Amino acid sequence: MSIFDVFAKLEAEKAQKAAPAASPVEWLVVGLGNPGDKYAMTRHNAGFRALDAYCAKTGQKIDRLKFKALTGEGTFGGARVLFLKPQTFMNLSGEAVREAAAFYKIPPARIVVLFDDISLDVGRLRVRPKGSAGGQNGVKSIIAQLGTDQFPRVKIGVGAKPHPDYDLADWVLSRLTPDEEKQFVPALARAAEAAEDVVRNGAAHAAQYFNGKSE
């Protein structure tokens, strides 16, 4: 190693020590869905797709496997957050959320969950500060694992079943029609914006600006 290499190494070490430590994670931002190409474009993957839309826009990465989820740290709504895409399949989503929340000591009030809602028309959003699962199994799992329903959520409308006798699982695992997709894609970007507003200003503020709106 030459004298120049030695000086370069010393300067690099000095710069590393002087660099400010990364801020601790303050929030979890969770998108719900099922892993695998088979499910990628289904109604049930609205949460995954909302985070993917945010990543495509900002360059954020959610690609580190941790807590039974794909994760990525970033700044979101002025806070340091951990983005989370559980890889357990929908019905066990709460396991990933519980593990991450316990590790970073994040209270439920700072866990924002994005997911599909069949009670809303395609492209409609609804922000809530808390509430029941409403039949959404991923949310049901999170409530069971955290022991509370007191966490904010951003619901993304995927449309109701076409007929009362239509199997619910078949419906949420179906793909949107081309016309529905045109309404859905802008809603995914807005859902991420709504989640960011929850982090920055609270669920009540986000609800005022995003609830019921569509392109």
Q: Which pair of structure tokens corresponds to residue 166?
A: 């239509």
Q: Which residues are catalytic?
A: 44
- Over residues 58-109, the pLDDT tens digits come to 999 999 999 999 999 999 999 999 999 999 999 999 999 999 999 999 999 9
CA–CA distance, 115 with 152 (Å, rounded to integer) = 11
Other residues' Cβ atoms within 10 Å of the Cβ of residue 171: 18
Q: Please determine, for residue 20, whether its predicted confidence score (pLDDT) is greater than 50.
A: no
| Number of residues that make up the chain | 215
Using CA atoms, how far residue 209 sits from 114, 126, 138, in Å, is: 16, 10, 25
CA–CA distance, 207 with 88 (Å, rounded to integer) = 29
Q: Please determine, for residue 196, whether its predicted confidence score (pLDDT) is greater than 70.
A: yes
120 close to 127: Cβ distance less than 8 angstroms: no
Q: When comparing pLDDT for 71 and 23, which is higher?
A: 71
Mean pLDDT along residues 173-192: 94
CA atoms within 13 A on the CB side of 124: 13
Q: When comparing pLDDT for 14 and 96, which is higher?
A: 96
